[in-house]
Amino acid sequence: MSKLISITSKELAELREKQFKKQDGKCAILGVCIDKAECVLDHKHKLKSEECGGKDRLGCLRGVIHRNANSFEGKLERSWRRYGLHKVISLPELLRRCADYIEQPPIKELIIHPNERKIERKRITIPEYKRICKYYFLAFPKRKALPKYPRFGWNETWKKIYQKVYPFICRNKFSKEEKELIKKAKEAMKK
């Protein structure tokens, strides 16, 4: 078993610099060159009740990585513990199995999950109708009245209306004139 070496914060900064050069400026996780200002000297976290060192290298330095990779790795490890997976499988084994699963899923047929199917919706929901009405006069400034709620759903007319109104739904900044038109639509919806 290797002897544990304790260092100070000043020595940590020097070691980070030295390790950064030793790794040729590359993140040990991402495998790409990183800016020195974005790197951290990562270590294996331990619980207060656990001793440093051992076969799991608890509390010991591991290498220089990008700070976002460090954050991601920490979240992975915390989730692994939080969901009790540490009682079933080691983290490295879990990650290897996840990579294998993602690259080689056991189901070979191309079966689409019901949540991912493209479904032609039959009717417009009330919140959608209100959203369309809110921005209707921005898309059609010369029209005087709001369209009636379509009882029979998405027809060609309503699809065209939605396509014209959609860019306004996505925006979040409006001119004074546009705000007045939105106000006009809201008042018309109350009637």
pLDDT above 70 for 119:
no
- Local confidence band at 191 (pLDDT 50, 70, 90 cut-offs): low
- Which range, of 17-21, 71-75, 135-139, averages the lowest pLDDT? 135-139
Percentage of the chain lying above the pLDDT 90 cut: 37
Continuous H helices in the chain = 9-22, 67-82, 91-103, 126-139, 156-170, 176-190
Tell me what the mean pLDDT of segment 85-109 comes to: 94
pLDDT above 60 for 59:
yes
Q: Which CATH architecture has domain 9-103?
A: 3-Layer(aba) Sandwich (3.40)
Q: In angstroms, rounded to a whole number, what is the distance separating the alpha carbons of residues 184 and 66?
A: 52
Q: Model pTM? A: 0.57
Domain range annotation of the chain: 9-103, 126-190
pLDDT above 70 for 87:
yes
- Local confidence band at 163 (pLDDT 50, 70, 90 cut-offs): confident
Query: Residue 167 is encoded by which pair of tokens?
Result: 């860019």
- 89-118 in b/e form (b: 16+ CB < 10 A) is eeeeeeeeeeeeeeeeeeeeeeeeeeeeee
